[in-house]
Each structure stands twice: as structure tokens, then as C-alpha cells.
Structure 1
Amino acid sequence: MIVSLSSVSLIGLICLSAIVSAAPFAVDSSNNFPNPSPDQIKIIEAVAHGSLPNGKPPAKVENNTLTSLRFIALNEFFEVAFYTSLIANVTQNVTGYDIKEPEAKKSLLATLTAIQAQEELHAINANNALKNFKVDPIQPCLYQFPSTSVQDAITLATTFNDVVLGTLPDIQQLLGAAGDVGLIPGVGSVIGQEDPQSALPFLTRATRDIAFSALNQAFVVKGSCPNSNTIALKIFEHLTVDAFGAKALALHPSPQNLQFSFQLPAGGAKPNWSGLSLAFVNQQNVPVKAQLSCVLVKGNTVHFEAHFPFNGTTFGSGLTFAMLVSADADFSTVPSLVQGPVVFGPALIEVN
């Protein structure tokens, strides 16, 4: 999971589902990752300042638990690629990533290299679990990263870090419900190891489907994953926040209207858009329902506004995500919210 670096102070609104594509990036396999030799694993462990767990795994797990392990492995590959790309950009002094002060650059690269190694261990550990249960491990995809500077990269890391860390408790709950409690301590240790001091007292809750959708919509090059089709999770349709540029960077932590858009599905009967509502999810609170206003259809794109109900407490700073769902969906919990037939999102909004 992405580790947020403490220098982030940007007040911004990030919409990961509408980012500009960059050149595809592959996971570095110079150390035979994701299948390093025992000697290569020792080197990774030394750089990561720790080791893979050496306890005995459970004899078997439920199929839904395998889905969680596959999702974790896929996400860890993305994170390895993200930090590998960032290290390369800083090392090569790419425009936007050049750091003039030698000691500052050295310190940043040391931190990023340790994080990269930790993410490699997380990915190896998840795939080792899959191998133990006699199923194929997940293989890396090609990735795209929209950041053009160190600051952009840190902001991006902060946002997706919040999404993933908000998903891991959902995975823990599912492990417990499946009776696979032996895996809960390992997942919990990842949360503790990677969770920075959040902008919120309680992380915004997400689900595997929400995080899987965000990962695929924003970072995975479509069609590049060898076996992510084995992950039995949904990928929702895109929901975009339309406020960018100066307005996005000047977003104040206050109640206001925000503009969104989505694409009409190709072919077939079009849903009744008057029967949709926007759901805002913030912290561990019940999703907030917002009505669509100023709806305008241009070609195949639907534009609308919705009120962003910031109040600083029950709706605070940090990560909020928005989902477009049926107005009659169950808004009592996040998992029930996304069970309906019409789901667009997540649109990720970060106010720090």
C-alpha cells in the first residue's frame, strides 16, 4: 500500500478516474521480481529492513479469501511499479523530479528504495499465500502514472493510500466471516506498517470492488494484465469530477457544489438518470445522499452538479469518494450501497 510522505500540504481535489494517460510502465524484474531466488529475497529483506513472515499458513481457505489475496497481490504490484517509476524519475533528474540539494535527494531516494522493497515483500507474501493454497499467483500488469513532479506523485500516493487502507479492514471482516481468521493478523500488520497519521480520525471506508475499480480505472493499462480476470471483483463505470486547474487546487474545505460527469453506456436501454443519486462516503460514517442538479446531456456525456456537504466533523477533510447509484439503493452501509445494478465511481476527492 502506498506510504504517504509527510511533506504533503496541498489542498486539492484529485479525480483518479479522469487522469491523463502516461507511457506504460512495467515492474522492474532485474532482481527476478516477482519470483526472486532465496538469495535475492535476502537482499530485498535487507533493503526493506525486515523479512517475510516465516510462520506456517493455514491449511486451506475459502474461495472469497482467495479473491482478497489476489486483489492484495495485484495492488502490491501496482505499488511496486509506482515507487520504481518514482525512483527512476528522481535518479535521472527528470523535469519536475529534479532535486537540487544533494543530501535531500539522497535522503528521499533512501526512503523510496526502502518503501519499494517493502512493497515487493508484500506482493511476494500475497502470492506465496496463493501458491500455498494451490492456485496460480497473480502476475504484474502494465501501469500508467499521471504525476509530472515529486509533489504530484506524493499527492497521488496520499490519495490512493487512503483508498487501500480503507479497504483492508473490509478484507479483515470478510476473512473473519469466512472463518479464515489465521490470515487476519498478517493483513492487520500491513495496515499498521503502512498507515500514516491520516487527516481523519477514522479512515474513509471502502470495499474491494471500490478499490479494484479505482486501480483499474486510473493505473492499469487496459488489456495488459495476464490473469487479473481471476479476481472475482467488479469494475464500475467511470465517474469524473469536472473541476480541475486553479479551481481544483483552490478547493476550500467548505460546503459547495461540485461538477461531475459520466459516459452513457454504449448500446442497450439507457437507465433512467432521474432515478439516480450521488453518495458521498467520508470516514466510517453512513453514506450521505445528494441529489443531482443542473443535469445536462451532451452527446454521450451526462454532466451534473451535486452539493458537497463538508462540515468539518461528521463530514471532514482527507479522503471522500463519490459513487453514482440508484436513488433507491441501500445507503445504510458502504457495502450495501454498491450492490445495486447501476454504479459509477469512485470519484476520489482529497481535501488536506
Structure 2
Amino acid sequence: MRSSSLLLASAGLAAAAPFSYPLANGFPNLNSTEMEQVYKLAGGTPPNGALPSSLKPNGVQALQLIAANELFEVAFFTELVHNITSKVRGYSDGNHKYIIDTLTSVINQEEVHVLAANGVLASANKTTIQPCQYDFPVSDFRSAIALAQTFTDVVLGVLPAAQGLFAADGGDEAALVPIVGSIIGQEGQQSGYYRFLQKKVASAAPLLTGGAPQFAYTAISQFIVPGSCPNIEVIGLKAFPALTLESTPRANNSVQTFSVSGAVSAANATLVYISGQNLPVSVRVSNVTMAGNKTTFAASFPYQSGFDRGLTLGALVAGANKRFNSTADVAASTLFGPALIEVD
């Protein structure tokens, strides 16, 4: 598991071989016996109703993004359980039967999510997503759980957008809306558990932070070994260059430091925060310094202006003093991001 510039500054540094599929049970290619075992450990099966026979382009992209994310999550939790049960240094805090049983259930539940998303794509004769190789920016149990909470929060932000796409497309896709809603609930149960393990209030806020497909795809991409994906490019999304939070914000107003690999002009850039279901908050960029290809800058973090507890997304956008009415508009103008900011 290795470090990533996008994610939490608290993540440890460790060098390890990339995670590769297939799993020990053969996943993602399972025979009927192996599949039944997955369902047993997951506590349930994929939907057994009729699958859509046709999908519109937005629906295809949403399902492919979901499949790519779930494949990454299966890899992450499989490696985490392996590190715990193999007594890898730093993972002893997770060596409890309840934790291992819970994370084992999560692995199999995420496998079911992959099977469901790729199953719908196959039913409509669309390209299914195949796994990549992955590196993860953690070296102990605590940082792994913190990271799991963060990427689960990102997923919870983008799945409602998928529901909106399926509803807008109508036809066969309308039946996917409640199915994705049930996945949102399941991922919410996970997030609350990871918060509990960190002794945080289990439910972060009344309304969780929304997201955009580009931001979710960028987050996934930070874990992928370059050149290791058979076909992830078919999703049609491009990962943004990283926006790294160099400081540690608290639940109050402050000034934070960010960095990017590339040039930034304070006269032609704006930092935008997305928190809860509130309108995006834009702040000015200041104190820009460049050393080599790394640019560092400061920006206010107006937490007490209506930010929600839990995940806040930060994005550096083109143009000075830019204002936005939606997360989608922010994503369309993003130069670097997202910074994943957890405040509790």
C-alpha cells in the first residue's frame, strides 16, 4: 500500500506489490458454487428481476463508473483483511473477530455490487468493466479505516447523481433507481461503521456532501497502477490532476495550504468548496509560490459559513472570483481536484 497525493495527509507510507485480481475464490469470474458462497457471506443476492435490455449513454457511463469503483473497493478491503489476518505490522488494532467478520461481509457485498452493475451492462450488450491493479496509501489499520470512510463518502455523493440519470433516461433504466437507492443505504451503513471505529459521531451530517462523476473517477484513478486497466477508458471520463491539502483544517474558520503540480495564477483561479447540499463556496487564492513544478498557495476555509461535518470537496477552477450554482458546474470548470477534506 503506497502514498497518494490526493488523499489524507495522515496516510502512512509503505511500499508493497500492487494488488492484482483474481481473488482466491476466482472473482470476478465465479462458477455457480463460488457465487453461492459470495451470496452467503454477503448476506444476500443481486436483484433477480428482469434486467434492462437497453441503456442510454449516460446510463452506461454511470454503471461503468459504479463497476469500476466497486472493483477498487473489493481490492481495498481484500488487502485490508489479508493484512489483519496475516498480522502485518500496524494492523493489530483490526484483529478482532467482529471487525474481520464485518469486513469480510463488506468484501462480498462489494462483489455483489460489481456483479450487479456489470450484469446490467451485459444484459444491454454494453462493455463491462474489468479490474485493474491497485496501490493503496495506507500502512496501518487506523489509516486504512480513515481512507475507507473517505472514499465511501465520495461514493455516497455520486450515487444519487446516478439515480438522477436513470430517472431522466426513463424506460428500462427507471427500475435501477430504487436498486441504486438500496446501495446508497448499504454504503451509508458502511460509512457509519468506519466513523464508529474512529470514535466519531456515527452519522456525519443531516445532508451528506454531493459529488460529480468526474470527482469520483479521479478518486478511483489515484489508486490505479498506470497502464494496468484492460478497459477503464471506455467510461469516457478524465481524471483531474491532484489538488493536495497540505494542512489540517478543523471545525472553524481558518486559512489552509494547498499544492498542485503545475502553474497557478492568483489572478485567474478560484478555490471552490462543496459541503453538504449547500451551494458551492468560492474563495480567493493567495500567497502563490512555485518551486520546480510544484505550486503552493493559500485559501481561506470558511467552515463556520455553513459547512457540514464530514466530507468537504475542494476544487481549483479556472477564473477569478468564479461563482457556481451546482457541483456539476464546478466539475465542468475544474483544473485540479478534488481535495478530500474530512472535518469532524
TM-score normalised by length of structure 2: 0.89
Listed as ranges, the matches of 1:135-150 within 5 Å are 135-150=126-141
1:195 aligns with 2:185: no
Distance in 2 (alpha carbons) for counterparts of 1:297 and 1:272 = 10
1:210 aligns with 2:211: no
1:327 aligns with 2:325: no
1:36 aligns with 2:30: yes
Could you say if the C-alpha distance between residues 129 and 117 of structure 1 is closer, same or farther in structure 2, counting changes exceeding 3 Å?
Answer: same
| Structure 2 portions without partners, runs of 5+ | 193-202
Post-superposition shift, 1:271?
7.2
1:213-271 per-residue CA deviation (whole Å, 9 max, x = no partner) reads 11102x1111111100101112111111112xxxx3xx43111110001111xxxxx77
1:278 aligns with 2:271: yes
- Determine if contact 1:204/1:282 at 8 Å carries over to the other structure: yes
Could you say if the C-alpha distance between residues 157 and 271 of structure 1 is closer, same or farther in structure 2, counting changes exceeding 3 Å?
Answer: closer
Describe the SS at the equivalent of 2:23: coil
Q: Runs of at least 4 residues of structure 1 off by over 3 A?
A: 17-22, 270-273
Listed as ranges, the matches of 1:75-114 within 5 Å are 75-99=69-93, 105-114=96-105
Q: Which amino acid aligns with 2:314?
A: A
Aligned to 1:173: 164
1:181-218 per-residue CA deviation (whole Å, 9 max, x = no partner) reads 1211111110012203431111101011111011102x
Aligned to 1:302: 295
Distance in 2 (alpha carbons) for counterparts of 1:277 and 1:169 = 27
Q: Which amino acid aligns with 2:46?
A: L
What RMSD in Å do the two structures reach over aligned CA positions?
2.0
- Determine if contact 1:21/1:145 at 8 Å carries over to the other structure: no
Post-superposition shift, 1:327?
2.8
| Structure 1 portions without partners, runs of 5+ | 1-13, 265-269
Aligned to 1:230: 234
- Determine if contact 2:6/2:242 at 8 Å carries over to the other structure: no
Listed as ranges, the matches of 1:8-19 within 5 Å are 15-16=6-7
Describe the SS at the equivalent of 2:96: helix
Q: Which amino acid aligns with 1:130?
A: L
Listed as ranges, the matches of 1:2-13 within 5 Å are none
Q: Which amino acid aligns with 2:164?
A: Q
Q: Which amino acid aligns with 1:32?
A: G
Higher relative contact order (CA 8 A, sep 6+): 1
- Determine if contact 2:93/2:141 at 8 Å carries over to the other structure: no
Percent of residue pairs bearing the same amino acid type: 40
Aligned to 1:346: 338
TM-score normalised by length of structure 1: 0.87
- Determine if contact 2:266/2:288 at 8 Å carries over to the other structure: no
Aligned to 1:263: 261
1:73-120 per-residue CA deviation (whole Å, 9 max, x = no partner) reads 0100010001100110000111111249xxx62221111111111011
